[in-house]
Structure 1
Amino acid sequence: MDVFFNWFERHGGAIDRAAMKIGEIPGCARGAIALQDLPEGHTLFTIPRDLTLSTRTSALPSKLGLSTWKQYGLHVGWAGLILCMMWEEAQGAESKWDGYMSILPSEFDTPMFWSEAELDELKGTSVVDKIGEADAEKDFHDKVLPVIQSRSDLFPSEAIIQYYTLERYHVMGSRVLSRSFQVSKWEGEAEDQDNVPTEANTSVDSAAMDVDASPSPSEHKEDHDEDDEDDNEDNPADVAMVPMADMLNARYESENAKLFYEEHNLKMITTKAIMAGEQIWNTYGDPPNSDLVRRYGHVDLLPLQPPLSGSGNMADNVEIRADLVVHAVSKLKGNLAVHQERIDWWLEEAEDDTFVVFTDCDLPQELISLTRLLLQSEAEWIKTQTKGKLPKPMVDSDLLSVAIEVLQSRLAEYPTSVQEDEALLADGTLSTNVRNAVVVRLGEKRILAGTIAGARSQLERSQASDSSKGNSKRKRAEQEQAKSKRDKKARQ
């Protein structure tokens, strides 16, 4: 790492070499280790803004020209940044980032590179639908390849087979997915003028490796149009590769250092005291294991909190499609076609066709509301339409019965049971990719099982309450009938 450190410092970066080192860590690959006890607020390293690699700092956008950049759609999504990274790599020693590009990984454990058999292990989860391989390849063929073929002066034919292939596009895209940060332009806000650093966020990705925005990709004066720059936080020009900062690993609720940005620099600063020998953890925003495996190729296994038990990720969640609710209600109430008007109204008013269950194992409020809508009598439905408000998320026995049916249907979409997955993990012979897939699906199934158990318990209480109320009503009726007989006899 000395070569990389030297490159970093030669280009204006500063590292407290006495405070930290980068090295191999068992179970975490490469990461940062504290060399001495560090207090909160200690600056580990400083990165000049112009040493970050983005569509703002690479020379490629200005060489192509803004009109060409937009003509090929490189100002939308990640295609522009990926092309810049491919181009910088092709420049070799002439690139400012040569010392950085040379240490970036080219092999990944993310599902983008899994075999079909490994991907089958994710059946039932939403991961496969979010890999985005097809969308990435479409961007390559529709945006990147045409601009490469149009400028032989920038993309020599002899370099294409080595640096500008679909395979390299996937590698660079995976580097962006797993290592980029969201680094906004400096706006000179009041709190920043008081030398209060602003936190730089790790990049938020979408399923298709695409951030939906339409900003200008470059700040080079000859091409930059300030009016075209979108200040939205999802501006693709804000997505940047940040040398040194991307060396830190992350783990659920383990963050002890964060990246902050100032006018001219970014700084990695400790957010709590760190003991010598401890790993220095950044934060990825504590995503669920489904996102961790998709973006980074690893999972977090920490003690779970009630109502769950065992090891997993407390940020895990399960997505439930609205059509499962519709089918469950139809199973209870009959004709599916009867509900179509209500479904259309729901989609227009609520815009939710997927509900998310978290590790607290509570039924989603939106799922309850939709179920109530579908269970309403015709008179109640007309009243709901008149008010123009979604039904309140209140539960009763009928609703809980539907919810349990929905959860069981969702659980049946996995090919294995909780017990089978636990046995697989205990075996200890799984490959890394298969093990990660089992951890992801097991975490989701535990949430569903816990939510089913909670709903069943709630249903039993509701039925007991209904039964008690029924008994009370019968008892009052019997008492009133007996009193009526006594009064009649007394009058006689």
Structure 2
Amino acid sequence: MASAAKRAKMASGEGALAAFLAWAEREGLRVSPKVCVSREGTVADYGLVAREDLEAGEVLFSVPRTALLSQHTSPLAPLLQKEHASLESSSGWVPLLLCLLHESTDTHSRWAPYLSLWPGFSSLDLPMFWSREERKRLLQGTGVSEAVERDLSSIQEEFSSVVLPFMKAHPDLFNPKVHTLELYKRLVAFVMAYSFQEPLDDEEEGEPNPPVMVPLADLLNHVANHNANLEYSPERLKMVATRPILKGQEIFNTYGELANWQLLHMYGFAEPYPGNTNDAADIPMLTLLQAALEGAKTDQERQLTLEQWDYLCGLEMVGEEGAFVVGWEGVLTEEELYVSLKVLTMPAAEFKALKEPGAAEPSARAGGQLLSKAALPALNPAWKRLLSSAALLALKAYRSDLKSEEETLQQGQTYARLSSRERHALQVRYGEKKVLHHLLQLLSA
């Protein structure tokens, strides 16, 4: 039986949901009678469930652009437009975050019933809110910890240099004691996990569209094998079924073709193996250099490897913080890895000729799919040895091996005792290791 505290929390959540749905109707959102927002039968707190069978192409709901929460619809829009030059940042999110700072602390906000679905934004459990020790213990080798450290540094710098001066310049709108760095971090996580970016038209070029909050659409959960998709039109955004959906099934949107480490980093969850067909693993570029240096037999060969690496850096094919990305169907960063393998395995005479003035730069043949799943077994033996060594080094970066994690996943009671953070981190690590082992199998063929 649920505790009194849990029952009160559930009742509070249901009340917030009812208030939101009433608000949505007033704002002109149109919801098909064949679907309902629910807290039951979904993989996360909220979700969309089919009340009746649905056909591909059916509109599940639509949201008028006037109901979106963005830098253009907020009451702050004129001020943000006037001072846009001072709000530029590397993320491009500052205008929306300022709107959210203002709206989330204004009890009379037009979007209050919408934002009340996430009271205090405290339910967001992205790795940026884990302790550094916990990130290291659970996520070592995955690349998530490094991405989070970069995020936290950027958030601190952006808040101090852009947001805080703006708030101090407008004390009638903001109070630094209320609109704190901690709240700002929570809102960054909210935008990261729940916002949408409208894609540019095929003819459009330039900077991507800024993120916007799309009420109702952001309540749908994600799986790689999704069954709905958000479509954009001038007046309304529409969630459309992409294939038949049976009564009682949850309706899933897609957040993009994302690996599990990206899902955990940006959204706070991972898909259980083997559900995420977009899963991938990183081989840090410096790991390829390490493998090449370890394979060198003499000081002269090691010096040649370092010169070849400097040459690749000059081509901007590699970098200290970069990584080669490997998926189930082959290498996703194909050109970078192809050229790197080619240069790092060159004999000294061939490399000397490559550096001569006027020599053509090495490149991957266009459309060749030279590092696809089908092509990897046929690679040059020297390339296979180097890439295999790099993959093995990448596997050593994790704190546990594949076998022990496989045993945990197979032992239902043991897995069930793990915290949600531990389960998500395990799925990330396990999926990445499976991808790397798959790569090794292809290279050993």
Q: Which category describes the TM-score, using the shorter chain as reference length?
A: 0.7 to 0.9
- Partner residue, 2:209: 235
Match of 1:343 in 2: 309
Map of 2:198 onto structure 1: 183
Q: Per-residue CA shift, 1:278-310, capped at 9, x if unaligned?
A: 1111111231110111111111125xxxxxxxx
Q: 1:258 to 1:332 in 2, by over 3 A?
A: closer
1:17 aligned onto 2:33: yes
Structure 1 residue 59: Cα displacement: 1.9
1:39, CA displacement in angstroms?
Answer: 2.1
- Letter matched to residue 43 of structure 2: G
Distance, in Å, in 1 between the alignment partners of 2:206 and 2:90 is: 14
Q: Which has the larger radius of gyration?
A: 1
Query: 1:263 maps to what in 2?
Result: 234
Spell out, residue by residue over 1:146-168, the C-alpha distance to the aligned partner (whole angstroms, 9 max, x if none).
1111211222x4xx433x01121
Secondary structure of the residue that 1:274 maps to in structure 2?
Answer: coil
Task: Sort the Cα spacing of 1:169 and 1:26 in 2 relative to 1 into closer, same or farther, 3 A.
Answer: same
State how 1:85-124 maps to structure 2 within 5 Å.
85-93=100-108, 95-104=109-118, 106=121, 107-120=123-136, 121-124=138-141
Deviations 1:1-26 (A, max 9, x none): 33211111112222223443333335
CA contact (8 A) 1:14 1:46 kept: yes
Confirm or deny: 8 A CA contact 1:318 1:357 kept in the other structure: yes
Q: How does 1:48-447 map to 2 (within 5 A)?
A: 48-63=64-79, 66=82, 68-73=83-88, 77-93=92-108, 95-104=109-118, 106=121, 107-120=123-136, 121-131=138-148, 132-155=151-174, 157=175, 160-162=176-178, 164-183=179-198, 232=206, 234-236=208-210, 239-253=211-225, 255-302=226-273, 311=274, 313-333=276-296, 334-335=298-299, 336-349=302-315, 351-353=317-319, 354-360=323-329, 365=334, 366-385=336-355, 386-390=358-362, 395-425=379-409, 426=411, 427-428=414-415, 429-447=417-435
Assess if the C-alpha contact under 8 Å between 1:329 and 1:371 holds in 2: no
Comparing 316-325 with 272-281, which one deviates more in the overlay? 316-325
Q: Distance in 2 between matches of 1:184 and 1:143?
A: 26
Tell me the residue number matched to 2:6: none
- The superposition leaves residues 371-402 of structure 1 with CA deviations (integer Å, 9 ceiling, x where unpaired) of 33122223211333453231666733333222
Residue 22 (structure 2) pairs with residue 6 (structure 1): yes
Q: Is the 8 A contact 1:259 1:269 kept in 2?
A: yes
Distance in 2 (alpha carbons) for counterparts of 1:388 and 1:47 = 53
Question: For 1:40 and 1:323, how far apart are their aligned partners in 2?
Answer: 46
Question: Relative to structure 1, is the Cα distance of residues 241 and 64 closer, same or farther in structure 2, using a 3 angstrom cutoff?
Answer: closer
CA separation of 1:76 and 1:116: change in aligned 2, threshold 3 A: closer
Aligned with 2:55 (options 39, 52, 55): 39
Pair 338,21 (structure 1): closer, same or farther in 2 beyond 3 Å: closer
Cα distance between partner residues in 2 of 1:288 and 1:323: 21
Residues 52 and 247 in structure 2, CA contact (< 8 A), matched pair in contact too: yes
Distance change (3 Å), C-alpha of 1:296 and 1:117: same
- Asked if structure 1 preserves the Cα contact closer than 8 Å seen for 2:259 and 2:280, the reply is yes
Q: CA deviation at 1:414?
A: 0.9
Distance 1:327 1:251 in 2: 36
- 1-structure distance, mates of 2:363, 2:90: 42
Q: Compute the RMSD of aligned alpha carbons.
A: 2.6
Percent of aligned positions that are identical: 29
Partners of 1:127 and 1:290 within 8 A in 2: yes
Q: State the TM-score, normalizing by the size of structure 2.
A: 0.82
Partner Cα separation in structure 2 for residue 36 and residue 22 of structure 1: 14
- Deviates most, 266-275 or 286-295: 266-275
For residues 399 and 130 of structure 1, do their structure 2 counterparts lie closer, same or farther at Cα, with a shift above 3 Å needed? same
Q: Give the 3 Å change call, closer, same or farther, for CA 379–75 of structure 1 in structure 2.
A: closer
Give the AA of the match of 1:267.
K
Offset from partner CA, 1:250-286 (integer Å, 9 cap, x none): 1111x22221122111112222222211111111123
Distance verdict in 2 for CA 1:268–1:388, change over 3 Å: same
Closer/same/farther in 2, CA of residues 387 and 15 from structure 1, 3 Å limit: same
Against the structure 1 CA distance between its residues 395 and 383, is the aligned structure 2 distance closer, same or farther, given a 3 Å change threshold?
A: farther
In the TM superposition, what is the alpha-carbon distance from 1:51 to its structure 2 partner? 0.9
1:247 to partner: Cα distance: 1.2
Q: Which amino acid aligns with 2:276?
A: N
Structure 1 residue 64, shift from structure 2 partner: 5.2
